[in-house]
Structure 1
Amino acid sequence: MSKFNFIRNLRLKRNLSENWGKFKQQFEIYLEASGDNVKSVNTRVAIFFNFAREDAVEIYNNFDFAEADNGKKLDKVIEKFENYCNPRENVNFERHQFWQSTRDVTETIDHFVTRRSKVKSCVFKEGSEDMIRDCFIFNMRGHGVKERLLREDELTLVQAINMARAAETSNQQIHKMDNYSVGSSVDNIRQSKHKSSFAKADATRQWKNLIHCKYCCGGSHVT
């Protein structure tokens, strides 16, 4: 086992469904990479709990299996954890959450799309891509981008995302260019002030060094 990355233990408190999904995926990857997927059922179950750790074992001990031997079968154990970590959702509530969610001020286009793409719990029978597209457009912060998206006929989700990404990238580049221009202007002003101060100081020094010459009709010379 030492030559493979260890799997983070199964966290069973916050974001239970998400944590279980990540753990299961990493566990399956480990079995395949290590070759342990061909080992005996008992060994694979033992490996599962070795990574899942104490809390998972405690929950496992409270599972009721239809047959006693099922508790020693990896697929049955995983099925029990699937049901435990993914309880039946309230579809109406999940759909309400989907439509009420808004894009955060600092949230990127890609992050918002990823978050909105998780609509399995909403159980939309069809047209889920159109719903994600509509939610995406409704939550677009820039009025210019939103107006452009609304003008497009038969706009797909992919097209809307690409257009929004392009606008986001352009805004970031313009912001950097503006910051560079402001910084350059400030540097120029500072240099100009420095040169002006230096010129004044030099003129003052020359004035102080002037002496009255009694041999040149009252003229003055720099010493």
Structure 2
Amino acid sequence: MDKLKPPHELKIAGGNLADRWERFLERFRWYLAAVGEDGSEDKKKVAILLTVAGAEAQEVFRTFTYEPAKAAVGNQPAVQAEKTAEQFNTVVRKFTEFCVPRKNVIYERYVFHTRVQGEGETIDSHSHVNLGRCKIA
């Protein structure tokens, strides 16, 4: 691992965190494969992830909580315990939940339907109006 430079740390504050997280995770997965650690046990991959991601990401990691198992109650089925902080996929999912905000579909529909095109304005002249990525259900 010492011969190959790891990806830059994940910056949590400012800007588009969702995009930075997706790019960081992609580079991190490439890094794991390049250094031959992609098949390692989860505990080791989590440790490498947190080391490479840096201090800000480590602070975020410390805030993660994991749901305990729940017994079936009435019509509600039993729920298995959420996997622990030593499981790589669980940690990646927790970071994704933290970094990628949920969309308020009702609000997004409102914004879409109340948008007024100005005179002489092309449909793609505003970066926040990107119909190609519009995911309104």
State TM-score, norm by structure 2: 0.69
What is the root-mean-square deviation of aligned Cα atoms in Å?
2.8
Find the counterpart in structure 2 of residue 9 from structure 1.
9
Find the counterpart in structure 1 of residue 71 from structure 2.
none
Q: Distance in 2 between matches of 1:6 and 1:30?
A: 6
Q: Distance in 2 between matches of 1:117 and 1:28?
A: 30
Q: Superposition pairs for residues 80-119 of structure 1, below 5 Å?
A: 80-94=94-108, 96=111, 102-103=124-125, 116=130, 119=133
Q: 1:91 Cα shift?
A: 2.7
2:135 is aligned, of 118, 123, 129, to 123
Q: Superposition pairs for residues 4-153 of structure 1, below 5 Å?
A: 4-13=4-13, 14-67=15-68, 70-94=84-108, 96=111, 102-103=124-125, 116=130, 119=133, 122-125=134-137
Is the Cα contact below 8 Å between 2:42 and 2:87 reproduced in 1?
Answer: yes
Which structure has more helix as a fraction of its residues? 1
Is the Cα contact below 8 Å between 2:10 and 2:24 reproduced in 1?
Answer: yes
1:38-60: CA deviations, max 9, x gaps? Answer: 11211111100011111111111
Find the counterpart in structure 1 of residue 119 from structure 2.
none
1:154-192: CA deviations, max 9, x gaps? Answer: xxxxxxxxxxxxxxxxxxxxxxxxxxxxxxxxxxxxxxx
Q: Tell me which amino acid in the other structure corresponds to 1:62.
A: T
| Percent of pairs with identical residues | 26
Is the Cα contact below 8 Å between 2:124 and 2:130 reproduced in 1?
Answer: no
State TM-score, norm by structure 1: 0.44
Q: Distance in 2 between matches of 1:97 and 1:24?
A: 30
Structure 2 residues without counterparts, runs of 5 or longer = 69-81, 117-122
Q: 1:4 Cα shift?
A: 2.0
Q: Distance in 2 between matches of 1:97 and 1:4?
A: 45
Aligned CA distance change for structure 1 residues 90 and 48 (closer, same or farther; 3 Å): same
